[in-house]
Amino acid sequence: MRRRAFITLLGGAAAAWPLGARAQTTQMRRIGVFNPLAESDPEVQANIATFRQALQKLGWTDGQNVRIDFRWGGAGAERIRAHAKELVGLNPDVILVITALALQPLLQTRSIPIVFTQIADPVGAGLVASLARPGGNITGFTVAEYSMYVKLLEVLKEAAPQVTHVAVIFHPDEIPQAGMLRAIEAAAPSFRVQVTAGGARDVAELERAIDQFAQEPNAGLIVLPNPITLGNHKLIIAMAARHRLPAAYVYRYLVAEGGLISYGSDISDQYRQAASYVDRILRGEKPADLPVQQPTKFELVINLKTAKALGLNVPPTLLARADEVIE
């Protein structure tokens, strides 16, 4: 082959090489990850491992062509604001943020693309303009619409028909939690259940809310997911067992660790999908053009051992609908 022809061919190949691939080899990119849960939590680490693995499959390896800066824990509002400020100060190319409580102090950040996970009904909460066209610099993956949380009341009542009074444990400062609570309160009369709102911003409020409510007859719990309830889930499960309170949760792993029943989406899949959005943003796409994705599958999980400890006979019809029964 003549030298000129070889140079022309080489130049054409370089031009055809995707710009994103060239950028990976010549520039270290930066990702911020803001998770208000504890770094030591095994479930948290499993989800982050899923995110890292998915990124690596897409060509991004931490320490080689991308740097990932983490901020962990600190469910208190002051520490969450401080962590948000630190991450913005690092000026990453994109931030992955977990839960609405961690997203809220980042809402004024317009210049950095943000991908969220584990947030319910972001449109209803006013976090994005619409699912199809989120607008601005924020997009991500929602766990459910508010109406899904009524399902927690439904399956709790089905598993424990004697329950007539339900405390909904929620975080008063996390915007979507109020919408979840309202949906459950609106549906409660059709299940002949009275609802009490159990707001908890810290562990002391969490313990106090459960201890006080446990004095009610025919009581049960619905535990909404937020950094306080998820970060202290072992405490909640232990208190529910001690007070003999049937309790419903959103995530499977809470039932695997001793909770009674859960109904919700697969959060590990959200981390895998979040990696794909982070990849697309690093390659030049804009969050405003990436639609907010909704879960396509929900799973019902029941812990029969916990049911027996509570003296419950779970109806066969409910067991037949369960995606998993833990014995």
Q: Are 130 and 215 in a shared domain? A: no
DSSP string, 251-311: SHHHHHTT-SEEEEE-HHHHHHHHHHHHHHHHTT--GGGSPPBPPS-EEEEEEHHHHHHTT
Parallel, antiparallel or unpaired: strands 194-199 and 165-170: parallel
Whether pLDDT at 106 is above 80: yes
Q: Are 302 and 160 in a shared domain? A: yes
Whether pLDDT at 89 is above 90: yes
Neighbours of 309 (CB within 10 A): 13
Q: Are 187 and 303 in a shared domain? A: yes
**Mean pLDDT of the 300-325 span:** 97
* CA gap 259, 118 in Å, rounded: 20
Decide if 245 contacts 52 (C-beta within 8 A): no
Instruction: Work out the mean pLDDT of the chain and round it to a whole number.
Output: 91
Instruction: Residue 172: give the domain boundaries.
Output: 146-265+298-326
* CA gap 130, 108 in Å, rounded: 18
Q: Is the residue at 228 inside a domain?
A: yes
* CA gap 116, 120 in Å, rounded: 11
Query: Looking at residue 73, what is its pLDDT?
Result: 77
Banded model confidence at residue 26, pLDDT cuts 50, 70, 90: low
Q: Is the residue at 178 inside a domain?
A: yes
Q: Are 186 and 117 in a shared domain? A: no
Q: Are 313 and 261 in a shared domain? A: yes
Q: Is the residue at 16 inside a domain?
A: no
Query: Looking at residue 75, what is its pLDDT?
Result: 60
Total domains in the chain come to 2
Query: Looking at residue 11, what is its pLDDT?
Result: 41
Whether pLDDT at 318 is above 50: yes
**Encoding tokens for residue 194?**
């009275």
pLDDT (tens digit per residue) in 184-233: 999 999 999 999 999 999 999 999 999 999 999 999 999 999 999 999 99
**Encoding tokens for residue 18?**
């995707």
Strand order in the sheet with 114-119: 66-72, 29-35, 94-98, 114-119, 138-142
Residues 6+ apart with CB under 8 A from 228: 75, 171, 200, 201, 202, 203, 206
Q: Are 240 and 191 in a shared domain? A: yes
Q: Are 130 and 49 in a shared domain? A: yes
pLDDT (tens digit per residue) in 189-198: 999 999 999 9
Whether pLDDT at 176 is above 70: yes
Whether pLDDT at 250 is above 90: yes
Q: Are 109 and 79 in a shared domain? A: yes
